[in-house]
Structure 1
Amino acid sequence: MPVSDSASWYRLWGKRVLDLAVAVPAAVLTLPLLLGAVGLLALQNRGAVLFRQLRPGRHGALFTLYKLQTMSDARDEAGHLLPDAQRLTRLGRWLRASSLDELPQLWNVVRGELSLVGPRPLLPQYLPLYSPRQARRHEVKPGITGWAQVNGRNALAWEQKFEFDVWYVDHVSLALDLRILLLTVRRVLGAQGISAPGQATTEAFTGSPSALTHLLHDAFYQFHPSAGAFTQAGDFRGRRAGPRSFGAGPANQRSPAHVGADWFLRRPGSGQPYHSRPAVLGQRGGS
């Protein structure tokens, strides 16, 4: 969508100014709270107080995210970590409810890896599972809070979260960021949406149907390289499929891979098949 001059300036410069103007004073003011939480965690976790994990930032670039460690490292007899609900300590549950476990991320904001407001940084293994639309959430820096967080947080389904994230990417502005920050304060005080229903945290993302079709497409051409072009596929004539990189371009830059029926793989977002006739595996032009 078209971006106004004021919105463009805010994206390029104003957002970073806001981040530093809020994060630096907030880090100083909340230091006593952080030190108190660190002291309690050190006693409970025998010295383990900081959680570090690689997360994807803008354009998928990895950085180290910092949080207070709210779970133990308890494992079963086979050496596997126990479920989150069993590892989440009483102190950790309170830190999550109050969002104090997020305070170390102010350092990520000062370093320029996070923004105060943006889509939450998720796990790197989710990157190949996104549909092209969902992958747009990485067009901006991730944030400590975001539009999805003030509209349900972990109580939302993954697809709902991603729709909120993409909407935010298209509507970034100073007014929206200030609104999200104010709503965040309200939600933190009300301890709303901390976990998914029936879960201690939230369920892992395993992919959406629209993203799965692209993964099947890539796998098909990896094992059937001779199926490159469908002569009846219009713009796809003479093209061969290659591995789809993260954040790939429009769907009309990739060849279709039909397996048995038109409906199996469709253009993302359109609901229309790539062409009118199903192709036979390993053949060109559906012949």
Structure 2
Amino acid sequence: MYKHVTKNYIDIILGILIFIILIPFLILISILVFFSMGSPVFFKQERIGKNNKPFIMYKFRTMREPREGENRLLSDASRVTKVGAFLRKTSLDELPEIINVIKGDMSLVGPRPLLDLHLELFDEHQKRRHEVKPGMTGLAQVMGRQSLTFKQRTDLDIEYVKNLNFCLDVKIIFKTFLVVCGADGIKTGQKIEEVDDLGILDLLEKKDKENTKK
């Protein structure tokens, strides 16, 4: 029952309460981002939701715009600003995702939302991570975060889907506070090749070449 009804109600009710509490912080961070990086303040990107349905995810902007000749996805590590690095280290860049929770696109707890290119690389078993709504935090985020390879994160996501229950969500939320306070597993400006064991880098480079030929 928790999987289908209660979890959704909890997300919406807590999401609204958390949003109200966060309003002053959202305003302050918006001002900080604007004066350090200019407009836009928010980073919006299409991600994969439950049952592979796409949605627009909101985050605070942490990177400068690509310079001429830079690929937007492949140059992530070099485009993170000092303010952006601070927001990522403290996970403050992810606060606007509470809007996605209220809208029903995301849950407070679940597998992190990914780009649609992952669907080209995942097998049917790995796609099981999309049987639930993506979350602001998840099992992989409290079990190693960015120190884990992509496959390791996916395995933990599937483990979460298989064992989804209220107590597990509460445990993950509690551990998230401990992880964020300790900044454990956060590697700002991390390069894709450090953790890519799915072939995402090869796929990105392939798409980049295809776009260059057009």
TM-score of the two chains, using structure 1 as the length reference? 0.65
Partner of 1:120, secondary structure, is coil
Matched with 2:109 is 117
Tell me by how many angstroms 1:47 deviates.
2.2
The number of residue pairs the alignment matches comes to 196
**Structure 1: distance between partners of 2:70 and 2:186:** 28
1:137: Cα distance to partner? 0.4
Matching residue within 181, 184, 189 for 1:200? 189
The Cα shift of 1:61 comes to 0.4
Partner of 1:132: 124
Checking the alignment, whether the CA contact within 8 Å between 2:111 and 2:157 is kept in structure 1 is yes
Q: CA deviation at 1:192?
A: 1.2
SS of equivalent residue, structure 1 residue 193: coil
- Look up the match of 1:184: 176
Equivalent-residue separation in structure 2 for 1:15 and 1:23 (angstroms): 12
- Structure 2 portions without partners, runs of 5+: 200-214
Whose RCO is larger (CA < 8 A, sep 6+)?
2
Counterparts of 1:187 and 1:132, CA distance in 2? 31
How far residue 83 of structure 1 moved from its aligned partner, in angstroms, is 2.3
Letter in 2 for 1:165: D
Are 1:83 and 2:75 matched, yes or no?
A: yes
Conserved 8 A contact 1:120-1:146:
yes
Counterpart for residue 208 of structure 2: none
Q: Deviations over 1:67-108 (max 9, x none)?
A: 0000001414x3544722321011111111111111110010
Aligned to 1:48: 40
Which residue identity is paired with 1:129? L
Match of 1:92 in 2: 84
Q: Deviations over 1:97-136 (max 9, x none)?
A: 1111111100100010000100001111111200111111
| Contact 1:67 1:103 (C-alpha < 8 Å) held by counterparts | yes
Letter in 2 for 1:11: K
- Paired with 1:202 and 1:178, the residues of 2 have a C-alpha distance of 31
The alpha carbon displacement at 1:181 in A equals 0.3
CA distance in 2, matches of 1:140, 1:87: 32
> Identity over aligned residues, as a percent?
38
CA RMSD of aligned residues (A): 1.6
**What secondary structure sits across from 2:47 in the alignment?**
strand
In terms of fraction of residues, the more helix-rich structure is 2
Q: Within the alignment, does 1:10 sit opposite 2:28 as a pair?
A: no
- Name the residue aligned to 2:202: none
2:95 maps to which residue?
A: 103
Larger radius of gyration: 1
Alignment equivalent of 2:155, drawn from 140, 149, 163:
163
The equivalent of 1:146 in structure 2 is: 138
Q: Where does the alignment leave 5 or more consecutive residues of structure 1 unmatched?
A: 1-8, 209-287
Contact 2:150/2:197 (8 A) holds in 1: no
Asked whether the equivalents of residues 110 and 133 of structure 2 are also in contact (C-alpha less than 8 Å), the reply is yes
CA shift, 1:188, in A, is 0.7
